[in-house]
Amino acid sequence: MTLVDRVLLWSYVRSFLICLVSLLSLYVIIDLFTNLDDFFQDSRPLSESLRNVGRYYLYRSAQIFDRLCEPMILLASAFTVGWMQRNNELLPLLSAGVPTQRVLRPVLWGAVASIGLGLANQELVIPRIAEMLTRQRDDLDGERDSIAQSAYDPNGIHLEGHVARRSTRTVRPFHCTISDGVGGGLIHLSAKEAMYVPPGEGVYSGGWLLRETTPAVIPDWDHPRLARMLAPGQWFIYTRDADFEAVTRNGSWYMLHSTSQLHSLLRQGAGRRLEPMAVLFHTRLARPVLGMLLITMGLAVILRDPHRHVFVSAGWCVVLCAVYYGVTLSCKFLGDHEILAPAWAAWMPVLLFAPASLVMIDSIYT
């Protein structure tokens, strides 16, 4: 790596950090002042309200970075190359016989590293904080009741609830139906309250602890692997996939999963929205390629006219981002509604942008 490479790479890192902080700060300021009443209410102490603000936007920053990763990288690359042109630093290198593609190599290295950072955030960070990302601004501790829904476990147990509370992992009232094929007869259990116990927490875990059930006793019950009576009116129901998240998730619950988790869900056939889930899985695979195509086209837009002002070039990059998102979201819409196959919906933008990227790169001023 030459001295010029190090200077360009440091310039890219600085531009990327500036874009990252600027866009995140802009989002936080606009969202905070729009929803200020959700944080400062219920006569809470000021210190607790400020702590909730910090917690909420700390978790939310990971999601915003995931959504704006490619535009941030493109703007950082645009400003790096644009200021290099404006300061007449590119012309001496070209006059010395250095090809434009060689000059751009450290910027592309930085872009690849940034895309890797975005993928790490997508695969490692967001799945770990998914529960916090689903909570509302005014209920970060999960103390308020939310609407529960039904869930079906692969072992033949159907669960249904009305109201759920995240802080205690409880659902009330709670209804459980064990199908005829697995329980030796159709069994219905209704409980005043049910608490989900994750695997490994306590003697009875990996299922639901039901209290004040109706009926309190089931005569001749002999299926302890499905359900076990701990005491009259108290049962423990074993489930594999129908956990607390399954009965409280919304229609886009799978969006915060990692790619490996999406693959497992697709193989199991879990969920009620397999087409959008399959489109998202293939989109995750195509995302690094699409990101590099966007950055390549953006650099080509900037370098095509060396006399254009840097902010005008940045504006053209914003237009390019709008076209990029318009095409990708349109293909996703067609895939979600089963007009296109999931693989086609994810890879169609690559087929559209790849030839354009090659043509634009070939027309770079050199």
- Written as one letter, the residue type at 290 is L
Distance CA 79, CA 82 (A): 5
Helix 105-120 to helix 3-34 angle (10° resolution) is 40
- pLDDT above 90 (res 282): yes
Residue 366 has what pLDDT?
58
The CA-based dihedral angle spanning residues 115, 121, 123, 127, taken in that order and rounded to the nearest 10 degrees: -160
Distance CA 171, CA 194 (A): 5
Q: Which residue has the tokens 């509302």?
A: 136
Q: Does a cis peptide bond (omega within 30 degrees of 0) precede residue 127?
A: no
Residue 133 has what pLDDT?
85
Backbone angles phi, psi at 226, to 5 degrees: -95, -50
236-276 residue pLDDT tens: 999 888 888 888 877 677 888 899 988 888 887 755 567 88
Distance CA 256, CA 59 (A): 13
Lowest mean pLDDT segment, chosen from 236-245, 289-298, 337-346? 236-245
Higher confidence at residue 365 or residue 215? 215
Query: What tokens does 53 get?
Result: 């603000």
Residue 210 has what pLDDT?
92
Q: Which residue has the tokens 């039901």?
A: 210
Give the predicted TM-score (pTM) of the model. Answer: 0.79
Q: What is the mean pLDDT of the chain?
A: 86
Residue 268 has what pLDDT?
75
Backbone angles phi, psi at 135, to 5 degrees: -85, 150
Higher confidence at residue 252 or residue 231? 231
Distance CA 258, CA 251 (A): 17
Residue 142 has what pLDDT?
73
Residue 42 has what pLDDT?
66
3-54 residue pLDDT tens: 888 888 999 999 999 999 999 999 999 998 888 887 877 677 878 888 888 8
193-226 residue pLDDT tens: 999 999 888 788 899 999 999 888 888 787 888 8
pLDDT bucket at 78, cuts 50 / 70 / 90: confident
Q: Does a cis peptide bond (omega within 30 degrees of 0) precede residue 288?
A: no
- Written as one letter, the residue type at 336 is D
- Most confident listed range (209-223, 269-283, 299-313, 325-339): 325-339
Are 100 and 364 within 8 A, CB to CB?
Answer: yes
3-class DSSP string for the chain: CCHHHHHHHHHHHHHHHHHHHHHHHHHHHHHHHHCHHHHCCCCCCHHHHHHHHHHHHHHHHHHHHHHCHHHHHHHHHHHHHHHHHHCCCHHHHHHCCCCHHHHCHHHHHHHHHHHHHHHHHHHHHHHHCHHHHCCCCCCCCCCCEEECCCEEECCCEEEEEEEEECCCCEEEEEEEEECHHHHCCCEEEEEEEEEEECCCCCCCCCEEEEEEEECCCCCCCCCCCCEEEEECCEEEEECCCCCHHHHHCCCCHHHHCCHHHHHHHHHHCCCCCHHHHHHHHHHHHHHHHHHHHHHHHHHHHHHHCCCCCHHHHHHHHHHHHHHHHHHHHHHHHHHHCCCCCHHHHHHHHHHHHHHHHHHHHHCCCC
Higher confidence at residue 139 or residue 337? 337
109-148 residue pLDDT tens: 999 999 999 999 999 999 998 888 888 887 777 778 888 8
Residue 15 has what pLDDT?
92
Residue 291 has what pLDDT?
92
- pLDDT above 60 (res 104): yes
Distance CA 208, CA 169 (A): 10
Tell me how far CA of residue 246 lies from CA of 148, 155, 242, in angstroms: 9, 15, 5
Query: What tokens does 222 get?
Result: 């002999």
Q: Taking residues 334-360, report their average pLDDT.
A: 91
Q: Which residue has the tokens 């955030």?
A: 121
Q: Taking residues 296-316, report their average pLDDT.
A: 78
Higher confidence at residue 245 or residue 192? 192
Of 12, 8, 85, whose CA–CA distance to 311 is shortest?
85
Are 4 and 104 within 8 A, CB to CB?
Answer: no
Query: What tokens does 198 get?
Result: 């994750």
Q: Taking residues 152-166, report their average pLDDT.
A: 87
Distance CA 364, CA 299 (A): 9
Distance CA 319, CA 105 (A): 24
Helix 342-362 to helix 274-304 angle (10° resolution) is 10
Higher confidence at residue 343 or residue 361? 343
